[in-house]
Chains A and B, each alone.
Chain A
Amino acid sequence: MFGRKKKKPKGHPDLTPDPDWHPRPVAGRDRAPDPENRMIDLEDVHLAFGDLVVLDGVWLEVDRGETLVVMGGSGQGKSTILKIILGLLEPDDGRVYVCGVNIIHAEQEVLDEVRGEIGMVFQGGALFDSLTVGENLAFRLREEGELEEEEIERLVAEKLTFVDLEPRVSNLMPAELSGGMKKRVSIARAIMGSPNILLYDEPTTGLDPITSETINGLIKKLRDQQNVASIVVTHDIGSALTVGDRFAMLKDGDIIFEGDADEVMETDHKYVRTFIDARVSGA
């Protein structure tokens, strides 16, 4: 039913959108939403861990070729949103549409197919310690078992080159890499299956300004060249303004502000203003 195609055409090739799915317009935009281009829709998502309410009715949407930056302080649930989109966490209430498919209570087969559309760059890289860089990159394709080994090796070299790493890095172990190299390898691994959606969890945290700029450049390059829909979770306002098309501020489990770069810089919303000014002056 959900057989993967090796070359993905535009649109949602392998997934049948839910008939009940009606994407809502992006906040502040006049044009009607295009279901063909809408990649992620979070509708009224609630999640609590015991007494701790993490998400309290979150609405988010991301279109193809667009980068949404989710900002907010530590512990506000930014990374939780990414885990919900990946199906690693199930919300208590609400709907999560990825390529039009509601992944809440979805069959494992559907969830696996949806995950095939997503590449995730974890905060610490999350590279498998026991595998070489090349094996890390090839992992997903080898698991799927659809490509010849030669083709996989070619793709590994291609993706390493894309993230400005030499193919010889392929033989190194993750422990031998610097923080910036780990992030780049993590990005290379995320794009191995040519996903339509990329999720970045704090991609520049802990990196020096030059390496951060390299990572920002890669995020923009992926959006511009591969037309992917991206969500970047960060509290690095400099990085956010460099890579983002739209911005959402998460506080106390809710999106308290949404807008483009100009609106962010000009907003008089007290919390957003304080957050941005503190970050800019602290940078």
Chain B
Amino acid sequence: MATVASITRPVKSSLEAIQDLSLLIGRTVASFFRPPFYWRDVFVQMDAIGVQSLLIVGLTGIFTGMVLALQSAVQLQQFGASMFVGQLVGASVVRELGPVLTALMVAGRVGSGIAAELGSMRVGEQIDALEAMGTDPVKKLVKPRVLAGLVMLPILTIGTDFIAIVGGNLIAWLSLHQDAVTYWNAVWSGLYMSDLFTGLAKPLAFGFIITIMACYRGLNTTGGTEGVGRATTQAVVLSSVLILASDFFLTKLFIEIFGH
């Protein structure tokens, strides 16, 4: 009997967690269409998620672009195809690396912050106090963070993409002595309109994943300050894994839709 219980207990708790997460997602989405709207909180979160992440995603972008250009230059030079460096950097960054790396960096910086903040509020009974005063924590705490994530992730991704391509430009110029016009023409020729769509649709999904997972872990924190640390780690790990997994399925979906 003990063996059966040891198997069923984790399964049951996993199912309960999925149920709780689904309920939170449902309540959050429903709250988008119901007042009150805490616009000031949304702008504060847009600053925290977006503006304050600019430096970290900028650094991620420039080094990613530079590394990509460096690696591809070495390979392409062997075939006398170094003019395609821009094409390779542009397509890789806009389709995949820009959205995914931006999301992973934001998950680490912002996801952990949201989980820690809400977790501290949970163990300090501040969330109970909110409810006791008739304020819905989903509308007051979750909705502004998710809305800010949905708005800021695509904007940050555009920034990362641009900076990464500029980084590639720098290496193309320094290593291959390629002029900017040749490089940017190659970048442009390597992109389809659908790339712009998928490059923005993915961060939208990632923004939702990062913020909702962080809010979920934060709101369900138990076990005092140790629990806050655990919730923070789980928020980052879960959202990072979900970002990578959903990237695969979104890529598959977009290939089915657009054919490339």
Contacts and interface: CB of A to CB of B under 8 A. Distances in A.
Interface string B110-137: 0000000000110011101101111100
A116 B120 CA distance: 25
Most-contacted residue by chain A among B120, B128, B131, B133 (CB, 10 A): B133
7 contacts: A86-B128, A112-B134, A116-B134, A120-B132, A122-B129, A128-B121, A129-B126
A86 B135 CA distance: 13
Given A123-B125, A128-B126, A88 B132 contact: yes
Contacts of B121: 128-129
A139 interface: yes
A24 interface: no
A115 B132 CA distance: 6
Contact of A115 (B125, B126, B133): B133
A122 B120 CA distance: 15
B52 to A, nearest CB: 16
Nearest to A118: B132
Contacts of B129: 120, 122, 126-128
Contact of B133 (A123, A124, A129, A139): A139
Given A115-B134, A143-B134, A83 B126 contact: no
Residue from B125, B126, B132 with most neighbouring chain A CB atoms (10 Å): B132
Interface string B199-230: 00000000000000000000000000000000
Contacts of A221: none
Interface centre among B126, B134, B135 (most CB of A within 10 A): B134
B132 A124 contact: no
B208 to A, nearest CB: 24
A124 B224 CA distance: 13
A124 B134 contact: no
A140 B126 contact: no
Contacts of A127: 126, 129
A76 B159 CA distance: 55
Interface of B: 36, 120-121, 124-126, 128-129, 131-135
A122 B133 contact: no
Contacts of B120: 129
B128 A122 contact: yes
Contacts of A83: 128
Interface string A107-126: 00000100110101011101
B128 A140 contact: no
A126 B132 CA distance: 11
Nearest to A145: B36
A88 B124 contact: no
Nearest to B126: A126
Interface in A26-76: none
B113 to A, nearest CB: 13
Given A123-B125, A124-B125, A129-B126, A88 B131 contact: yes
Interface in A81-122: 83, 86-88, 112, 115-116, 118, 120, 122
A143 B125 contact: no
A170 B124 CA distance: 21
Interface in A129-151: 129, 139-140, 143-144
Contacts of B125: 122-124, 126
A192 to B, nearest CB: 9
A124 B121 CA distance: 11
B134 A88 contact: no
A128 B133 CA distance: 12
Interface string A152-183: 00000000000000000000000000000000
A143 B135 contact: yes
A8 to B, nearest CB: 16
B85 to A, nearest CB: 48
Contacts of A128: 121, 126, 129
Contacts of B128: 83, 86, 88, 120, 122, 126
Contacts of B126: 126-129
Contacts of A112: 134
Nearest to A114: B134
A128 B129 CA distance: 9
